[in-house]
Amino acid sequence: MRPAILNSLFAETATLKGVGSALVRQITRLKLTRVVDLLFHLPIMAIERVQVDHIDESLVGRPIIAVLTIVRHDSGGPRRPLRVRAVDSGGQWVDLVFFGQSGAWARSKLPIQETRRISGKLDRYGQTLQISHPEISLPGEAMGPMLREPVYPLTEGVTNKRMGQIVGMALEKAPELPEWIEPSVLERHGWIGWRGALTAAHELNGEGKAKDRLAYDELLANQLALLLVRRDTRERRGRPLAGDGRLTEPMVASLPWALTGAQRRVLGEITGDMAQASPMLRLLQGDVGSGKTLVALVSMLAAVEAGAQAALLAPTEILARQHFATISKLVAGLPVRVAILTGRDKGKVRADLLDDLAMGRIDILIGTHAIFQEAVEYHDLGLVVVDEQHRFGVAQRLMLANKAKAPPHLLAMTATPIPRSLQLTAYGEMDGSQIDELPPGRQPIETRVMAVERLDEVVEGLGRHLAAGGQAYWVCPLVEGSETGDEAAAKLRAAMLKARFGGGVGMVHGRMKPAEKDAVMSAFSAGELGLLVATTVIEVGVDVPNATLMVIEAAERFGLAQLHQLRGRVGRGEGRSVCLLLRGGELSETARARLKLMRETNDGFRIAEEDLRLRGAGEILGVRQSGEAAFRLADPERTAKFVGVARDDARLLLDRDGGLAGPRGQAARTLLYLFERDAGVALLRSG
């Protein structure tokens, strides 16, 4: 249960005084539905105003506050604004200018001869000093404009002033919370308590340190949750799986090439883990094309040799089908039963398959999310492999683990190179392995950036490539926030290319029926289609070594890591591969620099670091796809700076300082609930 001390923070924003349904609707657009969301809605900067007695030229351009006496109204006209002349105590004139206000309004708000406190930016209009749309208050009034006003991220219909007010009310609801940070860490950084830090961050007063502390809190919650998951998994008794080589050896021997040194090394790490009773939790990183599928297959065969079942989870239908085809071919002739299950399988076929699975008549099951839905029962699931892990979240990883009597071994694979700080925050519960070597004979992909005006030339070149028997991808532009838009762009481009090249052109996009997608993909793999026009559905995993040319339209709209993934669809065979990045005419400096980086390097790690710097963690980890909450307070810089300390702090707390039972442990529980680290919280509940 959530500690009672947090209840006021998890109340709906509607419970705040004066916050009506219209305002709630507006701020919901900023996801500010509860008091705690308002607390974490930090200002981005401050407006600094100067309080002056005398106004003069030197203040032009600055926000000021001054007490002025109103002397004249000039009520304007249809084209002219309302002007109210005012004067300071030294006799300097200032005009207060209003568009769209009536004389009557001015007479009531700014009566002649009276004094008002006026605040706004001082401008010059010809010879006259003026302030447009100033804030007006009575000289003695407490709620006047502030000298230092925090500026909040806003949404339509909500003024900064209003936002400041409701955040202020939320702050009043915030209790002092018990301290969860290790005292020495607190002291080393000179941090103050939680509530104080929150107030300072909102008042922009020593906010650098205050924000550090709040970011640290979030990182600590994240690390605690991951360590709890890890500890819980490792403590449960799994099942040692040691293969005898009767399947893996003939399979590897039948390959036309040898395993790379890196593949052999990571297989050693994996099978070593699997031979232990405590369940494996391992993240395998390897750049696109490094041969992860084979590592997955050898691991799964080892599990089967030891008498267990294995499951391979793929993020897309296309990828699941492709894995099924590849793996079925590789184990042909061996006594291994491989099956595929996706959302598309229904009725009797599905029922039979589930029956076979439950009876142990299937050894390896490949599929999408469907393979861990409720109705799916395994006879004896011993190993779960998750391909392209960045598409899934912690919660989904946990779900799979619940599919077996004893917790299965888990191998997560990703082609996205993950900078160290991110690896800790996103996969902190796992051990890591890396395939740091590509299969021999691979040539680096040659990447060129071309202006879209040269489209004709590109199409000519594509024609020559296809005529010589080559295959190619054409990736269509990303249409911001709209899958339908992506689809429309792809259809348009496919129509143009079909008109030019005829029947050898196929198309896939995300909204096609799965069966149609498959048909197109298998025709392309089989070489029946020369050109595949596609949206980003081909981003992950698709493997057609004969395709050695890729065109990416409007490349500047894609993330760098995403471009690297897309580009990784070529350069998979021994032939020379080319990737053409078409760019729009008007490019910002950064966009130019990003495309230049793509041209200069094939190093996924460098690209990912750059992407992290430019676009934040969410893009790299694909949290949008996995639906996992990104950090709200810990920006990438603060993450890099503090995650290591948070990791150590969390570990110390759990291993040495009495776990979550001691007094600081109680505080740490509150922290987990405050940041809604559900994975960790769920374990607290059950344990």
Contacts to Mg ion by CB under 5 A: 541
**Amino acid at site 163:** M
What are φ and ψ of residue 537, in 5° steps?
-60, -20
Q: What radius of gyration, in Å, describes the C-alpha atoms of the chain?
A: 31
Q: Which stretch binds ligand ADP (CB under 6 A): 282-290, 463-471, 476-484, 574-582?
A: 282-290
Distance, in Å, from the CA atom of 59 to the CA atom of 50, rounded to the nearest integer, reads 9
Question: Which residues partner with 384 through β-bridges?
Answer: 311, 410
| Contacting range for ligand ADP; rule: CB under 6 A; set: 53-61, 94-102, 291-299, 332-340 | 291-299
Partners of 93 in the beta sheet?
87
Question: Burial of 676 by CB count in 10 Å (0-12 exposed, 13-18 middle, 19+ buried)?
Answer: middle
Interacting partner of 407 out of ligand ADP, Mg ion, none (Cβ under 5 to 8 A depending on kind): none
* 42 backbone dihedrals φ, ψ, rounded to 5°: -85, 150
Work out how close the CB of 418 gets to ligand ADP at its nearest, in angstroms, rounded to a whole number: 15
Report the nearest approach of Mg ion to the CB of residue 314 (Å): 9
Q: Which of 257, 590, 593, 652 binds ligand ADP (CB under 6 A)?
A: 257
* Cα–Cα distances in angstroms (integers) from residue 295 to residues 390, 411, 506, in the given order: 18, 10, 31
Least Cβ distance, residue 320 to Mg ion (angstroms): 12
Q: Which is nearer to Mg ion, 323 or 677 (CB)?
A: 323
Amino acid in position 403 = K
Q: Which does 545 bind (CB under 5 to 8 A by kind): Mg ion, ligand ADP, none?
A: ligand ADP
Query: Among 67, 259, 458, 459, which residue interacts with ligand ADP (rule: CB under 6 A)?
Result: 259
Q: List the one residue from 83, 117, 282, 292 that touches ligand ADP (CB under 6 A).
A: 292
Per the DSSP assignment, residues forming a β-bridge with 117 are: 67, 137
Q: In this complex, which beta carbon is closest to Mg ion, that of residue 393 or of residue 541?
A: 541
Question: How far apart (Å, rounded) are the C-alpha atoms in residues 470 and 463?
Answer: 10
- Output the smallest distance, CB 341 to ligand ADP, in A: 21
Indicate which of Mg ion, ligand ADP, none lies near residue 291 (CB less than 5 to 8 Å, by partner kind).
ligand ADP
Q: Among residues 222, 233, 260, 536, which is the contact residue for ligand ADP, using CB under 6 A?
A: 260
Could you please report the per-residue DSSP string of 483-514?
A: HHHHHHHHHHHHHHHHHHHGGGEEEE-TTS-H
* Least Cβ distance, residue 370 to ligand ADP (angstroms): 21
Tell me the C-alpha distance between 553 and 549, whole Å. Answer: 13
Give residue for tokens 């940041």. Answer: 675
Q: How far is the CB of 45 from ligand ADP (least distance, A)?
A: 43
Does residue 290 bind ligand ADP (CB under 6 A)? Answer: yes
Q: Which of Mg ion, ligand ADP, none does residue 257 bind to, with CB < 5 to 8 Å depending on kind?
A: ligand ADP
The CB-of-266 to ligand ADP minimum distance in angstroms stands at 11
Does position 439 bind ligand ADP by CB under 6 A?
A: yes
Please count the helices (runs of H) and the strands (runs of E) in the chain: 25, 22
In the complex, which residue's CB is closest to ligand ADP?
A: 291
Residue 559 interacts, among Mg ion, ligand ADP, none and using kind-specific CB cut-offs from 5 to 8 Å, with none
Beta strands 50-52; 63-74: pairing state: parallel
Which of ligand ADP, Mg ion, none does 243 bind, CB closer than 5 to 8 A by kind?
none
Q: Give the nearest residue (CB) to Mg ion.
A: 541
Residue with tokens 């307070």: 633
Nearer to ligand ADP, 233 or 525 (CB): 525
Minimal CA–CA distance to 301: which of 386, 346, 242, 370?
242
Q: Which stretch binds ligand ADP (CB under 6 A): 292-300, 446-454, 486-494, 508-516?
A: 292-300
Shortest Cβ 441–Mg ion spacing (Å) = 19
Taking the complex as a whole, the smallest distance from the CB of residue 640 to ligand ADP amounts, in Å, to: 27
Pairing of strands 505-508, 531-534: parallel
Name which of 178 and 545 has its Cβ closer to ligand ADP.
545
Q: How far is the CB of 247 from ligand ADP (least distance, A)?
A: 18
Burial category of 620 from C-beta neighbours within 10 Å (exposed 0-12, middle 13-18, buried 19 and up): buried
Which residues, numbered 553-582, are part of the site for ligand ADP (CB under 6 A)? 572
Using CB under 6 A as the binding rule, whether residue 315 contacts ligand ADP is answered as: no
263 binds ligand ADP per the rule CB under 6 A: yes
Q: Which does 414 bind (CB under 5 to 8 A by kind): Mg ion, ligand ADP, none?
A: none
290 binds, among ligand ADP, Mg ion, none (CB under 5 to 8 A by kind): ligand ADP
Q: Smallest distance, Å, CB 543 to Mg ion? A: 7
Residue 260 or residue 577: which is nearer to ligand ADP going by CB? 260
254 lies in the binding site for ligand ADP (CB under 6 A) = no
439 binds, among ligand ADP, Mg ion, none (CB under 5 to 8 A by kind): ligand ADP
Q: Name the nearest CA neighbour of 513 among 272, 226, 224, 318.
A: 318
409 to 428, contacts with ligand ADP by CB under 6 A?
415
Kindly tell me which of 222 and 433 has the beta carbon lying closer to ligand ADP. 433
Q: Taking CB under 6 A as the rule, does residue 291 contact ligand ADP? A: yes
Cα–Cα–Cα angle for 155, 160, 162, rounded to 5 degrees: 95
Long-range contacts for 629-634 (Cβ within 8 Å, ≥24 apart)? 629/676, 631/215, 631/218, 631/219, 631/222, 631/425, 632/40, 632/218, 633/40, 633/42, 633/211, 633/214, 633/215, 633/217, 633/218, 634/215, 634/216, 634/218, 634/219, 634/222, 634/425
516-555 mask for ligand ADP (x: CB under 6 A)? -------------------------x-x-x----------
Q: Does 636 bind ligand ADP (CB under 6 A)?
A: no
CA 615 distance to own-chain centroid: 9
- In the complex with Mg ion, the residue whose CB is nearer, 271 or 285, is 285
The CA distance from 305 to 194, in Å, is 54
The correct pick among 288, 327, 520, 683 for binding ligand ADP (CB under 6 A) is: 288
Strands 128-132 and 115-125: antiparallel
Asked if 146 and 49 touch (Cβ cutoff 8 Å), the reply is yes
SS3 316: coil
Q: Could you tell me the smallest distance in angstroms from the CB atom of residue 257 to ligand ADP?
A: 4
Q: How far is the CB of 433 from ligand ADP (least distance, A)?
A: 13
Beta bridge partners of 439: none
The torsion angles phi and psi of 425, rounded to 5 degrees, stand at -75, -35
- Could you list the beta-strand ranges (E) of 431-485: 431-435, 446-451, 471-475
Place of tokens 């021994």: 574
Give the residue with the Cβ less far from ligand ADP, 291 or 382: 291
Judged by the rule CB under 6 A, the positions of this chain that interact with ligand ADP are 257, 259-260, 263, 286, 288-294, 415, 439, 541, 543, 545, 572
